[in-house]
Structure 1
Amino acid sequence: MTPDATPPLHLLWQDEHMVALYKPAGWLVHRTGLDAGETRFVVQALRDQIGRHVYPVHRLDKGTCGVLVMGLHPAAARALAGSFARHAVHKRYLALVRGWAPPLADVDHPLRPDDAPQDAPAQPAHTLLTRLARLELPESSDPRFATTRASLVLAEPTTGRRHQIRRHLKHAAHPILGDATHGKGPLNRWWAERLGLQRLWLHAWRLRLPHPQDGRMVTIDSGLPWPPAAAPLPCAPDAPWRDWQARVLALPWMAA
């Protein structure tokens, strides 16, 4: 591989019916007119990498990294899409958020699609939030406070509205750090300087779903080691989750 070449996508699962991969942050799942200047698309790159057509069945935001599943033939894609549509897929995300989130929050807050007219009805949306860890840094990111607090949150959406986790965490007053749409610019910039990277800190960590061939439950996780080991694990320089492990999990976390 030449220095300027894009490394291959990291595959988490592949059989004759479906493939799961680690979607890097900053990649679009497929081409869209909303990002006309973007050149990195998972569908095209994966198709070229494995040498066969792939069928998207769900999506992750451009800024979100982690587990993404696709069908490898139309029947598998229909089965997988059906599992997502009937909420038979258990999704778990990790989010780095502002402040100390509550230990547990059941967010049942309907959402109107971003591009819907103001009089369009809101759609049911539900997310379970669990605080996994919290921290307090002895540095001020806001002149009103002497310290800066953050939480690591497990988000488990039971519905699949667009930007649901991001919007529900904003609704709970704990927006995801790095979220340019739903967060606060000055705080995002402070954390970008502190972590050495500007990005959305939302990670699709684990999916549990029926296999499209026989319905057996399959669990696919991203590989990100959580909870961290007692002694920090070395992070391979080519690990797709290295930003999370080296920058986020290495912070001085306290028990939830």
Structure 2
Amino acid sequence: MDNLKDSTVKKPAAEELEILYRDAYFVAINKPSGLLVHKSPIDRRETRFALQMLRDQIGAYVYPVHRLDKPTSGVLLFALEKEMAQHMASSFRTHEVQKEYLAVVRGYVEEKVTIDHPLKQMLDTKAQKKEGITKEIQEARTYCERLGTVELPYAVSRYPVARYSLVRLLPKTGRKHQLRRHMKHIFHPIVGDTKHGRGEHNRLFREKFDVHRLLLHANSLQFTHPITDKRINIEAPLDAAFKKLLLTFCWDRIELEIRN
């Protein structure tokens, strides 16, 4: 398996994206939290997009093959040819690509749990609704594994202390906001989620730990290269805010174990 370790990664200059992997067919970046993949009606005021930034940075047209939500960071794969993009998009749809995420969630999650909970399709635009596109119920499954826990001496809501878990999330299907909606469904919303989370926990992390982002990170992406037939494993290092939090909660050793 081709495994790109952090030591091989060239750190980006200011306003440049961190490139994790590149060959003649694909390029993968470490998408920062807060950056849209491409122009979208969900945020018409945004002027910075990963697709355009990467295109300008490498001087070549790129084709996105999957999505990451704007507040989610981590591995984002692009193809350098339209045909490769279509091939990989098909691989994502048939679940041949393995994705792994790290997240910090409210409460103590079970050690291991598979969330099998159908989700109603989310529509992006009013135009889709006008066209008569209906919100279908779609099968959705996520595997969740607890990696660490912490109890903080801060009263939140009706509880005298606040408890949180570091979890590994493996989506088995690819629905919009699946991980965020599934963690909300089992009453362990992801910290920093302003749409599906809990405001009191988000405020606590902003005020006590200076964390102003969704604590969800696409940690790794694995797929079989359609040309070389090699198994490719691309890993994305955490940003400074996420790393600092792991260190504060004594979870940094857990991250090292994940990398190894």
Instruction: Give the TM-score normalised by the residue count of structure 2.
Output: 0.85
* Partner amino acid, structure 1, of 2:248: A
Select 1:129's aligned residue among 123, 140, 144. 144
Shift of 1:74: 1.5
Shift of 1:124: 0.5
Matched, 1:188 2:202: yes
2:116 is aligned to 108
Secondary structure of the structure 2 residue equivalent to 1:70 = strand
Shift of 1:120: 4.0
Alpha carbons of 1:75 and 1:118: their partners in 2 closer, same or farther (altered >3 Å)?
closer
Shift of 1:210: 1.4
RMSD, matched Cα: 2.1
Equivalents in 2 of 1:118, 1:101: separation in Å?
36
1:7 is aligned to 15
Quick check: 2:121–2:136 contact (8 Å CA) kept in 1?
Answer: no
Equivalents in 1 of 2:234, 2:97: separation in Å?
11
From the two aligned structures, give the one with the greater helix fraction: 2
The percentage of aligned residue pairs carrying the same residue is: 43
2:90 is aligned to 82
* Partner amino acid, structure 2, of 1:135: V
Runs of 5+ unmatched residues, structure 2: 1-12, 124-128, 255-260
Could you report, residue by residue, the CA deviation over 1:66-104 in whole angstroms, capped at 9, with x for unpaired residues? 000000111221221121111001110001000111111
| Range 116-125 or range 75-84, more displaced | 116-125
* Partner amino acid, structure 2, of 1:93: Y
* Partner amino acid, structure 2, of 1:134: T
Could you report, residue by residue, the CA deviation over 1:113-145 in whole angstroms, capped at 9, with x for unpaired residues? 123799743100000000000000122223x22
Equivalents in 2 of 1:73, 1:151: separation in Å?
40
1:237 is aligned to none
Structure 1 outlier segments of 4+, above 2 Å:
114-121, 247-250, 252-256
Matched, 1:91 2:99: yes
1:20 is aligned to 28
Instruction: Give the TM-score normalised by the residue count of structure 1.
Output: 0.86
Secondary structure of the structure 1 residue equivalent to 2:42 = helix
Quick check: 1:208–1:219 contact (8 Å CA) kept in 2?
Answer: yes
